[in-house]
Amino acid sequence: MTSSDDVQKKNSKRKSSKRKNAKSAGFREASRRALEDPRLQAALDRALRVAVEKRNERVAVHPDWEGVRARAEALRTEAVDEMPALLEQLEARLIENGCQVHHAPDASAARAIVLSLARERGVKSVVKAKSMTTEEIALNAALKDADIEVLETDLGEYIIQLTGEPPSHVTAPAIHLSTRDIAEIFHEHLGVPVVEDAERLTAIARERLREAFLAADLGISGANAMVAETGTIMVVENEGNARLATSLPRVHIVVAGIEKVVPRADDLAALLEVLPTSATGQLASAYVSFIDGPRGPDEADGPEEVHVVLLDNGRRAIREDEELSEILRCIRCGACQNICPVFRHTGGHAYGGTYAGPFGSVLEPAMCDHGSDLPFASSLCGACKEVCPVDIDLPRLLVTMRKRDVQQRSGGRAERAAFSLWRWSMGGAWRMRAGAAMLRTSWRIAPRWTARRHDKLGWGSGRPLPAPAHHAFRRRWAKGESGLGPDDGGPRES
């Protein structure tokens, strides 16, 4: 490597660490704003508490939850392990079924494929089923720029499309909004009177969506699973909008991450047992669609063309990363978001990207190259791991991401130095006693200054660290205070 290469490498490292550090201010600041918003706090608590209760009720009456969870984990692990062969098989079956298959190495390629398909067919209007993958590739903005009208048809997505917000939860995009909020949004954007009634609001949306379904040239959806054995696309939903969006328009485009592939049709049974329970506490979703290609010669319904865009966008790289590859098992159920005590207070927008909550805190920095502070947005309580239907060890993945952040961050010098010093002071009992003595002296002779130092560390108002106890345990033992000290007649202290 020449010296100019060295300099270039150093410069780009510094630049990227500046970018990362600038983004690092992101989550804490966003979480502060979220905490100061009482309406948001109330909406999140109400909706997520119910989601967790329903999920727990369903799991409690399940005859063998751990068993079905183990099956789901096994099939998803197999899917990730055997991904290359399964994708080949999937593609062959899709083509046999009459679908057209496109490969998108990244987001920009995926957008280009969809736009080109749309333009070639003179598409003027699109109806979309809910798809986080299309959020990931920022598809809607690209369609809009190409003067193609896009309408989100999932009720939650429809609402936030009106306000221009991104989804704040992986299955419930408008979870951050109360019924009152939605009534006000409809009043402002649709000109209807403020009607704080969920059924009436839904009816208003349904009227507008009906017309759009019938008029659209193109329907775009994601996929909950793609079966390699049969070339079947499975879409799971509760509103019926995905069913309409994928069957009424002439053309249907599926945009799906490659990790959505599963080996066999039988595997769908295990997925359909764990997904609705984990996502919404339902025994089954209202609609499950199995798409086996475009309209057949003797069929009355269905699109004339079905295109499947297989999106990589960093997934293959994660698959090769032994420490992280299990994140690809994720079936996007949102159970981890529902249970997470941090997400409960912040909602999804605070995470600043496509994916939020525990699984998002791994995916965003690992796959989307964004959100280097997100792995730290967790107290590592482990509730997410407990509810994950495919048994992803999220706390472990978060710690792995933290480890890598420490290794790669050039701006973390102060913290590294602090931990080195701390480790040194803990490296021996006399050093620890000396450090502790300094801390006690500091509290004694300069209590207000010491309290301010703690405050600066985030440990304000004596939480969680007050002044240390007058005599540490080790001192009490050594001095024989309160009956402490070696037992008489026992073996000598080591």
Partner 1 sequence: MTVRAEEPALSSKIAPIHDVGLFVPCLVDQYLPEVGEATVRVLRALGLRVHYERRQTCCGQPAYNAGHMKQARRLAGRTLRLFDAQPVDAIVGPSGSCVSMLRVHAARLDLKPRDRAAWASVAPRIFEVTEFLDLRLGLKRLEGRYPRCITYHASCHLTRELGVRDAPKRFLASLEGVELLPLPDEGVCCGFGGTFSTKLPELSMAMGRDKLDAFHRSGADELVMGDAGCLLQVRGVAKAAGEDPGRIRHIIEVFADAMEAK
Contacts of partner 1 in 432-451 (CB under 8 A)? 432, 436, 439
Min dist. Cβ of residue 79 to partner 1 (A) = 19
- Interface residue with partner 1 among 57, 116, 410, 419 (CB under 8 A) is 419
Which of residues 115, 265, 368, 472 is near partner 1 by CB under 8 A?
472
| Minimum gap (Å) between residue 491 Cβ and partner 1 | 5
Residue 410, Cβ neighbours under 10 Å: how many?
13
What does the alpha-carbon distance between residue 34 and residue 180 come to, in Å, rounded to a whole number?
18
* Residue 108 vs 420, nearer CB to partner 1: 420
Closest by CA to 37, choosing from 165, 196, 185, 177, is: 177
CB of 27 to partner 1, least distance (A): 8
- Residue 365, CB-side half-sphere exposure with 13 Å CA sphere: 29
Question: Is the peptide bond preceding residue 294 cis, with omega within 30 degrees of 0?
Answer: no
Measure Cα distances from 158 to 14, 124, 172, 298, 462 in Å. Answer: 41, 19, 12, 34, 46
2 lies in the binding site for partner 1 (CB under 8 A)? no
- DSSP state letter for 204: H
3-state secondary structure of 185: helix
**Residue 19 burial (CB count, 10 A):** 13
Contacting partner 1 (CB under 8 A), which of 92, 214, 446, 484? 484
**Cβ at position 302, least distance to partner 1 in Å:** 42
Q: For residue 422, state whether it binds partner 1 (rule: CB under 8 A).
A: yes
Single out the residue of 122, 191, 297, 490 in contact with partner 1 (rule: CB under 8 A). 490
- 3: buried, middle or exposed (CB in 10 Å: 19+, 13-18, 0-12)? exposed
Answer yes or no whether residue 478 interacts with partner 1 by CB under 8 A. yes
Minimum CB–partner distance for residue 259 and partner 1 (Å): 22
Per CB under 8 A, which of residues 16..45 are in contact with partner 1? 27-28, 31-32, 35
Output 242 or 401, the one with its CB closest to partner 1.
401
Return the residues of window 310-349 that contact partner 1 according to CB under 8 A. 341-342, 345-346
Binding pattern for the stretch 220-239 against partner 1, x by CB under 8 A and - elsewhere: --------------------
CB of 414 to partner 1, least distance (A): 13
Does residue number 487 form part of the binding site for partner 1 (CB under 8 A)?
A: yes
Residues 260-289 as x/- pattern, contact with partner 1 by CB under 8 A: ------------------------------
Nearer to partner 1, 231 or 412 (CB): 412
Across the strands, what pairs with 291?
233
- The per-residue b/e assignment along 74-111, b for 16 or more CB within 10 angstroms, e otherwise, is ebbbbbbeebeebbebbbebbeebebebbebeebebbb
Query: According to CB under 8 A, which residues from 363 to 382 bind partner 1?
Result: 376-382
Determine, following the binding rule CB under 8 A, whether residue 62 of this chain makes contact with partner 1: no
Q: Phi and psi (nearest 5°) for 225?
A: -160, 155
CB of 333 to partner 1, least distance (A): 18
Amino acid type, 424: W
Counting contacts by CB under 8 A, is residue 411 touching partner 1?
no
Structure tokens at 231: 């070339």
427 binds partner 1 (CB under 8 A): yes
Q: Could you give the residue ranges of the DSSP H alpha helices within 97-168?
A: 107-120, 132-136, 139-145, 155-163
Neighbours of 349 (CB within 10 A): 18
Which one of 284, 468, 479, 480 is in contact with partner 1 (CB under 8 A)? 468
